[in-house]
């Protein structure tokens, strides 16, 4: 199922400077709770590949796309 991973990310050095990032994700479970658990490694991967940022909060939204 198609989801949008929505993350509020902030600069580590300036934590009040935040922005929303969205990423389309396909192949997650239809059950939203299961999809949320399946998306956790994607958030961890984003953190690893974007030094200088931290994820303040995140969620998955089913069927959303821009």
Residues in the chain: 66
pLDDT tens digits for 9-41? 999 999 999 999 999 999 999 998 999 999 999
pLDDT tens digits for 34-55? 999 999 999 999 999 999 999 9
Listed residue (15, 25, 14, 10) closest to 59, CA to CA? 25
What is the domain count for the chain? 1
pLDDT at residue 65 greater than cutoff 60: no
- Alpha-carbon distance of 32 to 23, in angstroms, equals 16
Please report the pLDDT score of residue 29 as a whole number: 92
Whether 66 is covered by a domain: the verdict is no
Whether 18 is covered by a domain: the verdict is yes
Whether 31 is covered by a domain: the verdict is yes
Range(s) of the domain holding residue 34: 1-60
Whether 65 is covered by a domain: the verdict is no
Please report the pLDDT score of residue 50 as a whole number: 97
33 exposed, middle or buried (CB, 10 Å; 0-12, 13-18, 19+)? exposed
Whether 4 is covered by a domain: the verdict is yes
């Amino acid at each position: 199922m198609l989801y949008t991973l929505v993350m509020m990310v902030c600069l580590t050095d300036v934590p009040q400077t935040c922005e929303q990032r969205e990423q389309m994700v396909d192949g997650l479970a239809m059950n939203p709770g299961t999809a949320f658990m399946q998306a956790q490694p994607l958030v961890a991967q984003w953190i690893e590949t974007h030094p200088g940022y931290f994820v303040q909060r995140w969620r998955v939204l089913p069927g959303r796309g821009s």
